[in-house]
């Protein structure tokens, strides 16, 4: 929901940073890999109880996630780059709740499992919609230039980053926030199913 608003404010900064990286020969795929590694490091930090470091690494990871697309627009987009970006985003989205589950299994494991399940189903709806949209020749630039059709929803990247930040700032509230965001994610899935029924 907030991705369009965030992109309008961040894209000029990301474009300047991307120009510097591209001029030094840094590839978009290298940025994607680095962002994923930093994201996994955030989950490790959270697992060992260092939520502040986890938050810093989450923000750095998502900066990299925005930069890879900006670099790709300068150096040339590839289908593999688009594929890699989506797959490693899902790695990150699953890793952070898993980190909280491992940090305190008794308090957090069930809530983390529910949230990861909601992410899993939402991700399936997102990718299935993209496949069918491609099959029908549909296109959308509502979230900028993308390698595949991006169907929008209530729970998008900006909301997810904000929720992950909330986990780190208020770790004792992880179960409550996780259940609430799982419900928001489920609503996004249902709304996408309704959209698919109307569109296909």
Alpha-carbon gap, residue 143 to 8, rounded angstroms = 10
Closest CA to 88 of 176, 29, 143: 29
Write the CB contacts of 116 (distance below 8 Å, at least 6 apart in sequence): 94, 97, 98
What are the pLDDT digits (tens) for 61-102? 999 998 988 898 888 888 999 899 999 999 999 999 999 999
Asked if 58 and 168 touch (Cβ cutoff 8 Å), the reply is yes
Closest CA to 93 of 72, 120, 131: 120
What are the pLDDT digits (tens) for 135-173? 887 766 655 566 666 677 777 888 999 999 999 999 999
Q: Which CATH fold topology does 3-199 show?
A: 1.20.120
What are the pLDDT digits (tens) for 95-111? 999 999 999 999 999 99
Domain boundaries, the chain: 3-199
């Amino acid at each position: 929901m907030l991705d369009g608003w965030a992109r309008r404010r961040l894209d000029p900064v990301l474009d300047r940073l991307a120009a510097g990286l591209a001029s030094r020969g840094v590839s978009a795929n290298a940025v994607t890999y680095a962002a994923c590694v930093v994201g996994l490091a955030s989950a490790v930090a959270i697992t060992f109880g260092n939520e502040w470091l986890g938050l810093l690494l989450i923000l750095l990871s998502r900066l990299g996630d925005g930069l890879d697309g900006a670099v790709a627009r300068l150096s040339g987009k590839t289908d593999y780059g688009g594929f890699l970006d989506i797959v490693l985003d899902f790695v990150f989205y699953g890793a952070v709740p898993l980190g909280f589950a491992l940090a305190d299994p008794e308090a957090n494991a069930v809530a983390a499992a529910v949230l990861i399940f909601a992410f899993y189903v939402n991700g399936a709806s997102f990718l299935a919609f993209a496949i069918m949209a491609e099959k029908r020749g549909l296109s959308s630039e509502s979230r900028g230039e993308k390698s595949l059709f991006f169907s929008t929803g209530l729970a998008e990247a900006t909301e997810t980053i904000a929720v992950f930040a909330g986990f780190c700032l208020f770790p004792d509230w992880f179960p409550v926030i996780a259940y609430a965001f799982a419900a928001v994610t489920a609503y996004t899935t249902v709304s996408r199913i309704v959209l698919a029924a109307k569109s296909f």
